[in-house]
Structure 1
Amino acid sequence: MASKISDDWNVLRHGPLVPLSDNLWWVEGDLPDMSLKRVMTVARRGDGTLVIHSAIALGDKELRELEALGRPAVLLVPNGLHRLDAPAYLKRYPDLKVYAPRGSRAKVEERVRVDGAYEDFPADDTVRLETLDGVKEAEGAMLVRSKDGTTVVLNDAVFNMDPKKDVLGWLITTVMGSAPGPRVSRLSKLLFIKDKAAFRENLRRYAELPGLVRLVVAHEKVAHGDDAARALQRAMTFL
């Protein structure tokens, strides 16, 4: 995918900007040359500015809707594989502050400027970041507090999608063990989960968060309500 990364605003097919809560929005879009879908999550901080997690280049209508929500101020690049539209966002919004997990920073910086690691992010009462344990600091979590409760936003640490039938999709979802979800994929365990017990403790802690109302992951399905805790608990069984 690296050869496709540029600072051009290249809009692939995507869905609408879906409100999940009073300060949280979600977009699902295509990936080049594969059937998997990717997800962008947008959170609005207490000061009215926007935090964009795993950016997707939007069409004109959705881009106007995004900008009407607040000023894009922070771009989170959640690992070295989710860089596709990051350069385009930084070109369009040059004042963005870019953050990436410490263990993925070097890979992200091959394509886009990074201003800090997740622990450098200025948290407030609505949005904070954590680095996950047991994953070589390669991934983290965004926790968003809304009027209806708390949302946990992960990346490739947990997958929640259905198997695919095309060749590449079948390889990723079946051979690499990424579906059916929710689950921790075989590929994730091979690439970056080095301490399963420590990582399992992260998922347990998130599942037991008071007021947990939502789990968002990088690829496809959102788990709502009690399903959010159940999704995290099920994912733990794959470690």
Structure 2
Amino acid sequence: MAKLHDEWQVLPHGTLREVAPGILTVVGQIPMPLGKFPRRMTVVAIGDGRTAIFSPIPLNEAGMAQVEKLGEPAFLIVPNGGHRLDLRPFHKRYPKAKIVTAPGSKEKVEEAAKPVQTRANLGDRARIFTLAGCEEIELAMIVLDESGGTTLITNDVIGNVAHPKGIGAKIMLRLMGFGPKPRITVAAKRFFIKDKRSLAAQLREWSKIESLVRLIPSHGDIIDRPAPLLNRLADSLMK
């Protein structure tokens, strides 16, 4: 794990993209030996001029102006302990924002900033979930956008990195299983999935959401109309 950042440090990143009314997302790059590995931040408007930021990543000032235009950051959602790299400077910038993580990741996240809570009322449009069968260390989020579509935001459990940059990223992709096609990651299977049956049931339940239009993973490309994929991934857990 890289050393936690104390100050606002802008690493290479793309442009914020509006994927639906009230939902912005951006891909950043984590420098690593002989390559760069993608990570994603998603910003969700939750009403009353507030936002929830899933997996915070520092952007340049133009990018942060877009984030702040969507609303005041009210929640910093750290989906597991591995995504705390930039939490400390984010909390310095937005001290009123509440830090939220999964119960099993609270101790790790507290190493970056405090206080940390494991529940959050995000209003009528968004909910966070602790992944089933994963020792309560990984969060996901469901968002109903302003046009009536539903977005599922996941973290390290599903990877979809099709084009890693550099040989180092390609090696990590192979070892940790974040791609090149949508899949349950090797990292998830190795480190935190303990009850495959429970997780498979949760994936199938999500696939039944009639308004589900996209899945946004923390690592990799957005997946449109993901219901069939969720069922396939659930099946793969049972093999």
TM range (shorter): over 0.9
Identity rate, percent: 37
Structure-2 residue corresponding to 1:183: 183
Structure-1 residue corresponding to 2:52: 51
Please tell me whether the aligned partners of residues 182 and 234 of structure 1 are also in contact (alpha carbons under 8 angstroms): no
Partner Cα separation in structure 2 for residue 209 and residue 149 of structure 1: 10
Query: Match of 1:32, as an amino acid?
Result: P
Structure-2 residue corresponding to 1:74: 75
Query: Match of 2:173, as an amino acid?
Result: T
Partner Cα separation in structure 2 for residue 44 and residue 64 of structure 1: 15
How far does the alpha carbon of each residue in 1:178-215 deviate from its partner, in whole angstroms, 9 at most, with x for none? 22221011221110000000011111111111200110
Please tell me whether the aligned partners of residues 106 and 116 of structure 2 are also in contact (alpha carbons under 8 angstroms): no
Q: Secondary structure at the match of 2:8?
A: coil
Structure-1 residue corresponding to 2:236: 238
- Distance 1:36-1:233 versus aligned 2 partners, 3 A rule: farther
Query: Match of 2:162, as an amino acid?
Result: D
Partner Cα separation in structure 1 for residue 157 and residue 52 of structure 2: 20
Structure-2 residue corresponding to 1:38: 39
- Distance 1:216-1:165 versus aligned 2 partners, 3 A rule: closer
Partner Cα separation in structure 2 for residue 114 and residue 207 of structure 1: 34
Structure-1 residue corresponding to 2:205: 205
Aligned length: 234
Structure-1 residue corresponding to 2:219: 219
Give the CA deviation at 1:17: 1.1
Please tell me whether the aligned partners of residues 109 and 116 of structure 2 are also in contact (alpha carbons under 8 angstroms): no
Q: Which runs of 5+ in 2 are unaligned?
A: none
Alignment of 1:119-134 (within 5 A): 120-134=119-133
Partner Cα separation in structure 1 for residue 167 and residue 19 of structure 2: 33
Query: Match of 1:193, as an amino acid?
Result: I
Please tell me whether the aligned partners of residues 7 and 91 of structure 1 are also in contact (alpha carbons under 8 angstroms): no
Please tell me whether the aligned partners of residues 151 and 215 of structure 1 are also in contact (alpha carbons under 8 angstroms): yes
Q: Does 1:152 align with 2:152?
A: yes
Q: Which runs of 5+ in 1 are unaligned?
A: none
Please tell me whether the aligned partners of residues 21 and 148 of structure 1 are also in contact (alpha carbons under 8 angstroms): no
Q: Secondary structure at the match of 1:41?
A: strand
- The Cα RMSD (Å) is 1.5
Q: TM-score, normalised by structure 2?
A: 0.92
Give the CA deviation at 1:137: 0.4
Give the CA deviation at 1:134: 0.2
How far does the alpha carbon of each residue in 1:215-237 deviate from its partner, in whole angstroms, 9 at most, with x for none? 0011120012x2x2133233334
Please tell me whether the aligned partners of residues 161 and 221 of structure 2 are also in contact (alpha carbons under 8 angstroms): yes
Query: Match of 1:185, as an amino acid?
Result: T
Q: Secondary structure at the match of 2:232?
A: helix
Q: Name the stretch that deviates more: 214-223 or 175-184.
A: 175-184
Please tell me whether the aligned partners of residues 75 and 96 of structure 1 are also in contact (alpha carbons under 8 angstroms): yes
